[in-house]
Structure 1
């Protein structure tokens, strides 16, 4: 059983110092779990305040494994912020360098959103090193629509005279892109209320992290506008989980990814009003499929 209690550690890489978190026995086979750009490696806590707390039930019943997760370079948490933004490939390489120092038995990677992109990149660059990958709310390249929304986020950061207002508005726009029109129709009776909610989300990010959270929009958001991963290079067994009305990783792109993957072993598409945020909000709908993928006996020998 993987308890929701982590031991933190720091690892030097050629791209900067990464802060990591280990759940479980350090000698057990490792599963990497990485979330979105605002994620912390502090996935789970005993008081249920972890960044991806809803995912813990998948791992709470797994025996003889450890989970490793990292704060992103330039993201929120304890990792370094490089002087210039890294590429998706460099972020993946940084995690690989850190993993080499902490485990010699990498069994799987579970990635949601940005974490899934990094998993695809890792698997493409080092096909012999990753047996299994569950890519959740993730595609091998950005959608044009999501890139446009990120361009506007960056414009708000760059052109808003008040730095804090720029952060608040950029986060509000990001939150709008993560959800669906259906959710806003169901949840709010007037656009004013919805707008206040989005501004609150931006203010919350700023209050919790200070001006340091600006790096989300200068170091992480931009690199998701032009990455491109060749699925044909991926030899890992890949499970795909996606969400209808997801503007970040739309089903059409996931279908293209599915077609190009050499070892695609299953796909689950979930209808949810939460859109892209379904990877956090709809864990119960994919928990069984993910557990089966991680424990399927025939995959253990891959």
Structure 2
């Protein structure tokens, strides 16, 4: 079933029978009418509104995908996707299974292959899995802030977040627990240097639960996260990250890998190892204050690299 919303076409994507445990269907969105096919995937909270938002404004990848950007619907057909997840939060799809959902989305849109898969963070992991397991359905690959396998420190932090959310659900406080987990995650997405530049440390009040300036920021970010993520969906997709594993040597496509030297979630040595194992790869490590979130915050630096790779 296809519906038109704003400047994009939404299409229902039926999941393959063996993936029905992650919901019967999800939704893909196609923006643009002609040109090369670009699949654009982001972190676990990203959705199909990559090019144009629900309100008709810019989508979530502002500065990189959208009108006037390097990936422009005037020149390309842009595919966004709502990731599949277990609505009960009990099971987590692997990134290979999520790649199957990408393939099903292309089928539903009547597209044989993607000229470029542009993936960041979790979307980059899915992109690597897609290139390995569906090599004939992709021509080029651009990966931002995503490794071949998760870093053990990142896995440990995500497990603590999931334990927090699971305890909150058991106590009837799933929303508050998810807000706390998102705040913890933000500490891994950003850098101490950014916090030092924005906030003062410490707290002068004697109340043990007094809110500090950085704490208020993390609470606000956590509470706003509730509008795009449920506790159960978070459990499923967070655990999916830790099921990720690919063999980079089996990915022959021309690949661009971009990361930040300040990224603590996907440290630069992981991207150097990924680039070294990919047979046909170009690597760029950026200096950024924003760590893992550089793929969202540093589009002015990233855009020329993407444009050059496409040229």
Normalising by the residue count of structure 1, what TM-score does the alignment of the two structures yield?
A: 0.87
What do residues 116-174 of structure 1 show as CA deviations (whole Å, max 9, x unaligned)?
A: 10010011112232110000111111111211110110111122332222111111111
Does the aligned pair in 1 maintain the 2:46–2:82 contact within 8 Å?
A: yes
What do residues 37-95 of structure 1 show as CA deviations (whole Å, max 9, x unaligned)?
A: 000110132753422123221123862x20111011129xxxx7787321111011111
Q: Which of 251, 268, 279 does residue 251 from structure 1 map onto?
A: 268
- Give the drift of 1:235: 1.1
Does the aligned pair in 1 maintain the 2:89–2:232 contact within 8 Å?
A: no
Match of 1:193 in 2: 213
- Give the drift of 1:5: 2.7
Q: Does 1:165 align with 2:176?
A: yes
Match of 1:60 in 2: 72
Does the aligned pair in 2 maintain the 1:127–1:233 contact within 8 Å?
A: no
Match of 1:204 in 2: 224
Q: Does 1:280 align with 2:307?
A: no
- Give the drift of 1:110: 0.3
Does the aligned pair in 1 maintain the 2:155–2:242 contact within 8 Å?
A: yes
Q: Which runs of 5+ in 1 are unaligned?
A: 297-302
Does the aligned pair in 2 maintain the 1:23–1:66 contact within 8 Å?
A: yes
- Give the drift of 1:97: 1.8
CA distance in 2, matches of 1:168, 1:144: 23
Q: Which of 118, 123, 130 does residue 126 from structure 2 map onto?
A: 118
Does the aligned pair in 1 maintain the 2:90–2:236 contact within 8 Å?
A: no
SS of residue matched to 1:53: coil
Match of 2:206 in 1: none
User: How large is the Cα RMSD of the aligned pairs?
Assistant: 2.0
What do residues 256-278 of structure 1 show as CA deviations (whole Å, max 9, x unaligned)?
A: 101110111x2111111110000
Q: Number of aligned residue pairs: give it.
A: 282
SS of residue matched to 1:95: helix
Does the aligned pair in 2 maintain the 1:6–1:21 contact within 8 Å?
A: yes
Q: Which runs of 5+ in 2 are unaligned?
A: 1-5, 203-211
SS of residue matched to 2:255: strand
Match of 1:32 in 2: 39
CA distance in 1, matches of 2:114, 2:73: 19
- Give the drift of 1:195: 1.0
SS of residue matched to 1:55: coil
Normalising by the residue count of structure 2, what TM-score does the alignment of the two structures yield?
A: 0.85
Match of 1:300 in 2: none
SS of residue matched to 2:137: coil
